[in-house]
Chain A
Amino acid sequence: MLPVASLLILVPLIFAAVTFLTKTKGQAAGLGFTGSLATLGLAIYAYLNFESSTAAMQFFESMTWIPSLGVNYSVGIDGISMPLILLNAIVIPLLILYSWKEDRESPNRFYGLILTMEAAVIGVFVALDFVVFYIFWELTLIPLFFMVNIWGGEKRAHASYKFFIYTHVASLIMLLGIFGLFYASWQQTGIPTFGIRELIAQFQFFESGLLKDAIFLSIIFGFLAKLPTFPFHSWLPDAYTEAPTAGSVLFILLKIGGYGLFRISLPMLPNTGNPELMIMMLGMLGSFSILYGALVALRQKDLKRMIAYSSLSHMGYVILGAAGLVTLSVSGAMFQQFSHGLIMSILFMSAGAIQTSTGTRIINDLGGLAKKMPKLTVVMMVGFMASLGLPGLTGFIAEFLVLAFSYARLPGFVLIALLVIVITAAYHLWAMQRAMFGVYNEKLGDIRDINSMQVFSMAAIALLVLYFGLNPSPVLNMMISNSEAIVSLAAALGV
């Protein structure tokens, strides 16, 4: 058996290092693509050898690293991380194909940063030690900071600083919570450890409810700001919009906030001083994000900014489903992460293609693009329909599960989310209608449709959206196994 978890980090990292050293665009893109394909191969290997029916940790590896602090390099994969690893491994080669024909400055850095990002994000997903987790968590900031700054839009400096410092502060607050967890557990057991599972298990034995709440809240703050959720989202629209298309897609694949919620916060939640209050808080943040994101998206003039707010709105389902705390709502939330990653990749790629062809993203300056860009219109339509929740596509499954099964615990917040579905449909359809259909805006001149590479990569993602929309079980089953474990733990504590 291969040490897949480590290889999934190492392979893209090594390819990234080599890619940085290349001189020509052909070499850089070729190496980048090879590296991402190798990672995809590893991810598929892991998936084929993966047992979906258990919540146990698989492909587990552990090595002592800093014994005097109880830090181990331990990694593993389970049903929470597997779908997200797959998501990254699938989309990144397609992303490289998408940007294949774009001419840009320093292509070696561009493809090197994409692979570094892939390694860092997968590193967060497989880490089972808080120090390893935090190192990869922070490492994700650097490629994105460079990405936005080198190839971003006009206000890239502002956007990248805001994103970098905002989420760094949130991570530091999370780090304080991790310290609290570490020392409180050390004091009780006499053995220092940063193991994520060990510390979460020890959490229930802490005596002070206040301490537990403080630890829980400071850790979850890091996740909520990264997710992001209303009201900690203000870095999102700027960063997503100013980033180049590849950067926006990388932001979308950065599912580490939601992952942390399932891996760390939910198992801790039943043991906090006041679990009911925490659930209400999460439910409220979730439904408000859904509402707020949709309302703001409705009145955006810029297509990419609209998609960014729509992303915020959709991530609200992840929190709402997590707060629902029954097996299927939690699975729905996990599935939303997976589905959102695919759908939003199509949307950002579409917005990027439109900007490259027409030179603008302002919805009202577009119009009738379907006539000139028929191929784009087809895939974009699939993306938009999936995003607004059309049955048969992944978005529907995720949102249906979240809404149907969170209702028991959080009826009020689910009702808010239900009402928002109308707004969601409205802004999607309205934007589509104004930008793509109707009379062609002649001012745009003669524009070109997306190239064959872009058709291939976007269509491949669209097909996956359709496939998992019709047959979600390949990823949903493993999510259910893990959700069951989380929920049964909570149920045993009467939450």
Chain B
Amino acid sequence: MESLTMGNLMFLAPEIAVVSTGLIILLIGVFMSPRTKNVLGYLATLGVLTALVLTVESFGTNAALFSGTISIDALSQFFKLVFLAVALIVSLAAIKYNENSDHTEEFYTLVLFATFGMMVVASANDLILLFCAFELASLATYALAGFEKQNARSLEGAMKYFIIGSVSAALMLFGISFVYGATGTTSIPAIAANPAILTGNPIGLVAIVLLIAGFGFKMALVPFHMWAPDTYQGSPSVVSALLAAGSKKMGFVAAFRVFILALAALQPDWQLAFTVLAVVTMTFGNVVAVSQTSVKRMLAYSSLAQAGYIAMAFVVMTPMALTGSIFYTLAHAFMKAGAFIAAAAVVWMVSSGKTDRLDIPDHLDNFKGLGKRMPFAALSMTIFVFALAGIPPTAGFMAKFVLFSSTIQAGMTWLAVIAILNSALSLFYYARLVKYMYFLPPEGQKIRMPFPYAAALLFAVAGVLAMGLWPEPFLQWAMEAAKVLV
């Protein structure tokens, strides 16, 4: 048993930065007036940025802490990068969202705690720790989803999210208990060390079913997706960004650790399940997205489809596929968070202008002529949706390029064909959004974009283009992360 020293505590510097920022904000927020609380947003952004820099700096370190329950490796660091990038975008944009609000400190504390939970999930090497961190992140996001207490849609979304989330958490815990019952341990390496116990054991199968249901909820795989469209649409857009771009990836990293590392012995079983889930999820998401008129709902279904692509890693299971999938999570974080922030800017425009359709502020009609009303929001939204569709030279293209090509390498041409047809279908609804923004006449005045939204969008655009034009460092990191899994 190693002793806990200042030295190895420094491995957790990013987490410490995030949590302490959250606590400081919670504390000093109490003594501030709503007007001065705007500064809390900048403080949160600074804390997240510090954690981001610390995470990037710590790439390449490997360590096990707290009796091996926490593992610092390339996989954990990569996913922390994903969560922190999303948290940065969200906290920047939320400066405007929380302007003159009395609840600013609560908002930021919840965002930071949720991010902290996700970060711990990324490095959890023990099922119980993983569960606790998962719940920490989930509870914080339940509260965030219902943050607009006066907004019925926000409450409805939060309620659905909370109820389905709680049931899923119970299922997950139940699954973990079966694994524990069979193997006598909750440590991931220890479970993996005894493959014979679980192979051919009905308990193993039951555990897999329960765990897939538990994680599938967070990853929003069909048929565990029912909450996602309502919650993404109803929640404040900045929170939807956190849910779709961040919290969803927590489901993936947890599933990577639990299925690929701990339950490697049962690979044929979960591989079959994920084959069906991935194909159904991407197809369902794309088909349903086509008929949406609410942009946030469309992004929610598109997010399902993207989760379907990412889940292809479980099907193909080659180093290349895992690299592609892990790369995809970061690309998707930038694209989807950016798209939701662009939607947030439009919702803000609509509610401050009071001229447009207010009943559904993110209705497609409100995007008419956005290219003239908010040129930067329209341009960045265009970049995000084309990236989501996989048009080069963006992050989305590179991600699909690596991921889809790996299916060819593994000889699964049928899967590549399904994925590619899906990708082509998605172009239809993404292009429609572009049509509304650029080809239809504007119905309102030109509006100056608030700085926080512009800054958040700029960061997301930079991420999307950097990963598309200069993917090498990101690919290297993703490859290192994938090596942890194989």
Contact = CB atoms under 8 A, between A and B. Distances in A.
B53 interface: no
Interface in A50-78: 65-69
A173 B420 contact: yes
Interface in B35-94: none
B408 A180 contact: yes
A165 B423 CA distance: 10
A418 B403 CA distance: 48
A164 B430 CA distance: 12
Interface stretch (B101-109, B355-363, B471-479): B471-479
B393 A135 contact: yes
A404 interface: no
Contact of B420 (A69, A150, A172): A172
A157 B435 contact: yes
Contacts of B424: 165, 168-169, 172
B417 interface: yes
A161 interface: yes
Interface string A120-156: 0000000000010011001101100110011000000
B405 A182 contact: yes
Contact of A183 (B408, B421, B428, B439): B408
A102 B24 CA distance: 61
Contacts of A142: 386, 391
B402 interface: yes
B476 A68 contact: yes
B431 interface: yes
Nearest to A180: B408
Interface in B399-440: 401-402, 404-405, 408-409, 413, 416-417, 420-421, 423-424, 427-428, 431, 434-435, 438-439
Given A146-B438, A173-B420, A175-B420, A183 B472 contact: no
Interface string A397-410: 00000000000000
A67 B471 CA distance: 10
A176 interface: yes
Interface in A174-189: 175-176, 179-180, 182-183, 186
Contacts of A157: 435, 439
A213 to B, nearest CB: 13
A186 B410 CA distance: 13
Nearest to A187: B409
A176 B431 contact: no
B353 interface: no
B392 interface: yes
B427 A168 contact: yes
Given A157-B439, A161-B431, A169-B421, A183 B409 contact: yes
A149 B435 contact: yes
Contacts of A150: 438-439
Contact of B431 (A66, A134, A145): A145
B423 A164 contact: no
A139 B392 CA distance: 7
B439 A149 contact: yes
Nearest to B392: A135
Contacts of A131: 401
Contacts of A176: 404, 408, 413, 416-417, 420
A134 to B, nearest CB: 7
Contact of B472 (A68, A161, A172): A68
Interface residues of B, number: 30
A interface SS class? helix
Contacts of A168: 424, 427
Nearest to A137: B392
A149 B438 contact: yes
A176 B397 CA distance: 14
A165 B427 contact: yes
Interface in B380-398: 386, 391-393, 397
A139 B393 CA distance: 8
Interface residues of A, number: 31
Contacts of B391: 138, 141-142
A68 B421 CA distance: 27
Nearest to B421: A169
A172 B413 contact: no
Interface string A343-385: 0000000000000000000000000000000000000000000
Contacts of B401: 131, 175
Contact of B402 (A67, A69, A180): A69
Counting chain B CB atoms within 10 Å of each CB, the highest count among A66, A141, A169 belongs to: A66
Given A142-B391, A176-B416, A164 B427 contact: yes
B376 to A, nearest CB: 13
B416 A138 contact: no
A166 to B, nearest CB: 9
A161 B432 CA distance: 9
A210 to B, nearest CB: 12
Contacts of A134: 392
Contacts of B431: 145, 161, 164-165
Interface string B9-51: 0000000000000000000000000000000000000000000
A186 B404 CA distance: 16
Contacts of A141: 391
Contacts of B402: 69
Given A157-B435, A157-B439, A168-B424, A179 B472 contact: no
Contacts of B479: 68
Interface string A66-98: 111100000000000000000000000000000
Interface string A236-249: 00000000000000
A135 B61 CA distance: 35
Nearest to B475: A68
A82 B184 CA distance: 71
A182 B408 CA distance: 10
Nearest to B471: A66
Contacts of B417: 176
A337 to B, nearest CB: 24
Interface in B146-182: none
A28 B434 CA distance: 23
A69 B424 CA distance: 24
Contacts of B475: 66, 68-69
A443 B397 CA distance: 53
B421 A65 contact: no
A327 B334 CA distance: 51
A161 B420 CA distance: 17
A186 B402 CA distance: 14
A169 B476 CA distance: 30
Nearest to B372: A106
B472 A67 contact: yes
Contacts of A183: 405, 408-409
A96 B441 CA distance: 26
A65 B392 CA distance: 15
Nearest to B479: A68
Contacts of A149: 435, 438-439
A67 B479 CA distance: 13
A179 B404 contact: yes
A134 B423 CA distance: 16
Interface in B260-277: none
Contact of B405 (A65, A68, A173, A179): A179
6 contacts: A138-B391, A139-B392, A149-B438, A157-B435, A176-B404, A179-B416
Interface of A: 65-69, 131, 134-135, 138-139, 141-142, 145-146, 149-150, 157, 161, 164-165, 168-169, 172-173, 175-176, 179-180, 182-183, 186
Given A149-B439, A176-B413, A179-B416, 16 more contacts: A68-B475, A69-B402, A134-B392, A135-B393, A138-B391, A142-B386, A145-B434, A157-B435, A164-B427, A169-B421, A172-B423, A173-B420, A175-B420, A179-B408, A183-B409, A186-B409
Query: Which 5 interchain pairs have the tightest Cβ spacing?
Result: A135-B392, A179-B408, A179-B405, A183-B409, A172-B420
Interface of B: 386, 391-393, 397, 401-402, 404-405, 408-409, 413, 416-417, 420-421, 423-424, 427-428, 431, 434-435, 438-439, 471-472, 475-476, 479
